[in-house]
Amino acid sequence: MNDLNHLVQMAEDELTQYSTEARKIEKLRRKFSFAVPFPQQKSLRNQLVAEMPKGFWAELVASNRQTVALPFWGIGGLGLLMGASTLQPLDLIATAVGFFMAFRIQKWGWQLEAKRLVLKTLDEIQASVEADRQ
């Protein structure tokens, strides 16, 4: 696992905790300082910025992943209800596709949020180092 994936994984773990974003960033600052030396953090930040998807769908999923996935959860649930009640295999296929798409959208949004948290944390570390130099 390279350093960038390791930082994103730490951010995903931190997202599972119920706390404010400032508290998450504060916890991640300490973890990042131990995981990656400061001179390497800037190159990792640039790599992450280049790797982040840009576009309408990426922005929409990053900000509203649950809202985007909701229709697919509905398709999956309705397909399950219809397939179970009428025993039609096409409805069960709609269930599988709906649930799969909803899960993938939620997962993608979760990863985008973790990457955004890594960027904010690296920016916070950079700002504090620059403030200490002055």
Could you tell me which residue, 91 or 79, shows the higher pLDDT? 79
Q: What is the model's pLDDT at position 1?
A: 54
Q: Quickly state the pLDDT bin for 106 (edges 50, 70, 90).
A: very high
Q: How far is CA 90 from CA 41, 93, 97, 102, in A?
A: 50, 5, 11, 18
Task: Check whether 134 has a pLDDT greater than 80.
Answer: no
Task: Check whether 69 has a pLDDT greater than 70.
Answer: yes
Contact 70, 78 (CB under 8 A): no
Q: What is the chain's mean pLDDT, rounded?
A: 89
What is the DSSP code (8-state) at residue 16?
Answer: T
Residues 48-60: pLDDT tens digits? 999 898 899 999 9
